């Protein structure tokens, strides 16, 4: 039972943590760059694999398949890397702008901003005098007050500025690595048929493997993640092959 | 001033909202499908444009450029559509599983779960008897208690099950629409040079236009969004061209 006595006994006013469930590892806080690498590789595989398979069936010889493949890998990596970089930069700016606005509003319209804190706590059942005093405690420190509004009214978490460039570079690099896997056989073999066979085997194994790892990194059941990656890759390749054959005629 | 008297006067315990800033339209709550369409079209443009430009310069004649282009559009749309669908389905399952777990823990370890509520409010400055009573008010209704934990401890919002398929279909469709824009000239012209020129003009205009709309849909300054889309498209095309030329030799 959390009671006022134990609250007062601790230096910062929070009682010691009662025991909880034995397994506490509920959220994967795996290294964020590893996550970017795994997800980027898994995602970067599909389109180059499908393109190469489609061109094998439809029209082209290996050198052209390789040219088209590396062009798509390069374009996809640049689009993905720059996209990630620009998006996280604008997230950071958006956060800063909204924060400045909340801070200004807490000065210009303090009653309104207090009411907004009250409305949030009220939604979860806090009422009356307790609600009033809880709001006053939060509003007593402007930084905590604005923190509360950012997190619970606007649902914005402070972005990590150091992740921007690293995350973009990891995503772009992983796209290159993933995209080259299905193209390698076309670089090594002269004839299209064996290159296609080896490419399908390589891409299939890589889709299963990276799908597995991606699922682990995002908290999905790994086997299902592996099969979903493979299924998506096969569906994309079949669609690409059908459309290219249709247009190629 | 929010005081206990006015709190008690309203039926549900929340006082009337005080006046705030005049401009309240701070978040774009535009139609979500429109958003998917705009973002999908903007993102779907870049890679097919870059691929077609790279192949024009490096090796190929228009029919082959069209085959490769539509293959990439088809593969990208399937990968994007299926990816969106599977991701939002697993988000929904993840939410349901975490919710069941929080609910169970609130039964098995009520003191621990109350402490976790207390720890969150404590972080924002609520202390002592007010903290204790606020926690008890929240924990008095199990649904609100679990709602609070889902939202503020785990940072999970309930996904909308009806958005899954619609969002996936909109994303895939928009990718097809965006991807066909830069390929159209290669379908209409016999020679590569004029097709490339018209494709660059069309893709440039579309990148600016959809970049503008995408920025408006996501709350960025529109002009900057337009220039960023164009810049990303040009960078992707240049990278694809350089890599394809290098490999094509």
A chain contacts of residue B146, beta-carbon cutoff 8 Å: none
Predicted confidence at residue B12, as pLDDT, reads: 65
Which of A94-98, A239-243, B65-69, B132-136 comes out lowest in average pLDDT? A94-98
Beta-carbon contacts below 8 Å between A and B: 310
Q: A195, A62 in Cβ contact below 8 A?
A: yes
Task: Using the predicted structure, report yes or no on whether residue A115 has a pLDDT greater than 90.
Answer: yes
Does residue B60 surpass a pLDDT of 90? no
For all residues of chain B together, what is the average pLDDT? 86
- Provide the pLDDT for residue A195: 95
Would you state the pLDDT for residue A8?
Answer: 45
Lowest mean pLDDT among A68-82, A137-151, B19-33: B19-33
Q: Do B240 and A72 touch (CB under 8 A)?
A: yes
pLDDT class for A248, splitting at 50, 70, 90? confident
**Within an 8 Å CB–CB cutoff, is residue B114 touching chain A?**
yes
> Distance between CA atoms of B91 and B93, rounded to whole angstroms?
5
Q: Where are the beta strands (DSSP E) in B99-239?
A: none
pLDDT at A7: 43
The residue with greater pLDDT, B115 or B23, is: B115
| Element of type H or E holding A186 | helix A163-188
- Where is pLDDT greater, at B97 or B60? B97
B172: pLDDT strictly greater than 60:
yes
Q: Can you tell me the distance from the alpha carbon of B222 to that of B53, in angstroms, rounded to the nearest whole number?
A: 26
At residue B35, the pLDDT reads 76
- Judged by a CB distance cut-off of 8 A, whether residue A140 touches chain B is yes
Instruction: State the residue for tokens 């282009």.
Output: B69
Q: Considering only A54-58, A61-65, A216-220, B164-168, which range has the smallest mean pLDDT? A: A216-220
What percent of chain B lies above the pLDDT cut of 70? 89
The CA distance from B97 to the nearest CA of chain A, in Å, is 11
The predicted pLDDT at position A25 comes to 47
State whether A78 and B20 contact (CB < 8 Å).
Answer: no
Query: If contacts are CB pairs under 8 Å, which of residues 66-95 in chain B contact chain A?
Result: 66-68, 70-79, 82-83, 86, 90, 94
Banded pLDDT at B90 (limits 50, 70, 90): confident
Structure tokens at A26: 């509920």
**What DSSP line would sit under B30-67, residue for residue?**
--HHHHHHHHHHHHHHHHHHHHHHHHHHHT--HHHHHH
Cα angle: B30, vertex B35, B36; to 5 degrees:
145
Task: List the end-to-end C-alpha distance of chain B, in Å, as a whole number.
Answer: 75
Please give the model's pTM, rounded to 2 decimal places: 0.84
Main-chain dihedrals φ then ψ at residue B156, nearest 5 degrees: -115, 130
State the pLDDT at residue A224. 93
What integer pLDDT is reported at residue A145 of this predicted model?
95
d(CA A62, CA A94): 47
User: Which among B12, B82, B119 has CB closest to A14?
Assistant: B119
User: Which chain B residue shows the shortest CA-CA distance from A9?
Assistant: B128
The separation between CA B199 and the C-alpha centre of its own chain, rounded to angstroms, equals 28
Residue B66 is encoded by which pair of tokens?
């069209």
- The minimal CB distance from B235 to the residues A17, A82, A148 is found for A82
Q: Which of the residue ranges A192-201, B3-12, B81-90, B103-112 would you say has the lowest mean pLDDT? A: B3-12
Cβ contact B15–A240 (<8 Å): no
Q: Is the distance from CB of B223 to CB of B106 less than 8 angstroms?
A: no
Query: Residues of B with CB below 8 A from A19's CB?
Result: 109, 112
Please name the member of A67, A148, A248 whose beta carbon is closest to the beta carbon of B124.
A148
A120 has a chain B CB within 8 A of its CB: no
Output helix, strand, coil percentages for chain A, rounded to the nearest 5: 80, 0, 20
pLDDT class of B59 with cuts at 50, 70, 90: low
ipTM: 0.83
Cβ pair A82:B232 closer than 8 A? yes
Residue A4 predicted with pLDDT over 80: no
- Better-scored residue on pLDDT, B207 or B13: B207
CB contact under 8 A, A15 and B228: no
Chain-chain contact of B94 with A237 (C-beta, under 8 angstroms): no
- Residue B6: the pLDDT is 43
With cut-offs at 50, 70 and 90, classify the pLDDT of residue B205.
very high
Token code pair at residue B63: 């029919």
Cβ–Cβ below 8 Å for A83 and B114: no
- C-alpha dist (Å) from residue A245 to A69, B41, B70: 17, 24, 10
pLDDT at B199: 96
Looking at residue B31, what is its pLDDT? 67
Share of residues in chain A with pLDDT > 70 (%): 89
Tokens of residue B78, six digits? 């399937």
Interface of B with A in 49-68 (CB under 8 A): 50-51, 54-55, 58-60, 63-64, 66-68
CB A76 within 8 A of CB A179: yes
Higher pLDDT, residue A130 or A155: A130
Whether the per-residue pLDDT at A18 is higher than 90: the answer is no
Q: How far apart are the first and last CA of chain A?
A: 76
Q: How many Å apart are CA B201 and CA B203, to the nearest integer?
A: 6
Of A2, A130, A239, which has the smallest distance from its Cβ to B130's Cβ?
A130
Is A6 near chain B, with CB under 8 Å? Answer: no
Measure CA B141 to chain center.
33
- CA–CA separation, B212 vs B235, rounded Å? 18
d(CA B249, CA B178) in angstroms, rounded, equals 30
Q: What is the pLDDT of residue A249?
A: 65
Within 182-221 of B, beta carbons closer than 8 Å to A belong to 218-220
**Rounded Cα distance, B102 and B144, in Å:** 12
Residue, of A70 and A157, whose pLDDT is higher: A70
What residues of B are in contact with residue A118 (Cβ under 8 Å)? 2, 14-15
The answer to whether B55 touches B187, Cβ cutoff 8 Å, is no
What phi, psi does B17 have (nearest 5°)? -70, 125
Question: Alpha-carbon distance B158 to B149, whole Å?
Answer: 12
Instruction: Give the pLDDT score at A33.
Output: 76
Q: Average pLDDT in the B187-191 region?
A: 92
Nearest chain A Cα distance for residue B63, angstroms? 7
Q: Tell me the nearest-neighbour CA distance from A6 into chain B, angstroms.
A: 9
Distance from CA of B71 to the nearest CA of A (A): 4
Quick one: pLDDT at residue B28? 47
For position B2, what pLDDT does the model report? 42
Q: What is the pLDDT of residue B25?
A: 47
Round the average pLDDT of chain A to a whole number and report it.
86
């Amino acid at each position: 039972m959390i009671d006022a006595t134990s609250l007062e006994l601790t230096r910062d006013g929070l009682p010691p943590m009662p025991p909880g469930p034995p397994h506490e590892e509920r959220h994967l806080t795996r290294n964020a760059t590893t996550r970017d690498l795994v997800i980027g590789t898994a995602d970067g595989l599909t389109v180059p694999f499908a393109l190469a398979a489609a061109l094998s069936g439809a029209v082209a010889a290996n050198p052209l398949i390789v040219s088209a493949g590396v062009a798509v890998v390069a374009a996809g990596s640049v689009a993905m890397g720059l996209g990630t970089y620009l998006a996280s930069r604008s997230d950071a700016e958006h956060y800063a702008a909204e924060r400045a606005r909340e801070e200004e509003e807490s000065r210009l319209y303090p009653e309104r901003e207090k009411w907004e804190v009250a409305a949030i706590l009220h939604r979860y059942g806090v009422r009356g005098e307790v609600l009033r005093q809880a709001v006053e405690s939060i509003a007593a420190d402007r930084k905590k007050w604005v923190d509360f509004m950012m997190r619970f009214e606007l649902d914005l978490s402070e972005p990590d500025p150091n992740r921007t460039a690293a995350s973009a570079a990891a995503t772009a690099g992983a796209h290159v690595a993933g995209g080259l896997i299905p193209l390698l056989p076309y670089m090594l073999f002269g004839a299209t048929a064996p290159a296609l066979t080896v490419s399908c085997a390589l891409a299939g194994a890589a889709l299963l493997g990276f799908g597995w790892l991606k699922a682990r990194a995002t908290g999905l059941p790994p086997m299902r993640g592996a099969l979903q990656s493979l299924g998506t890759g096969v569906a994309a390749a079949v669609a690409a092959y059908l459309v290219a054959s249709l247009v190629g005629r």
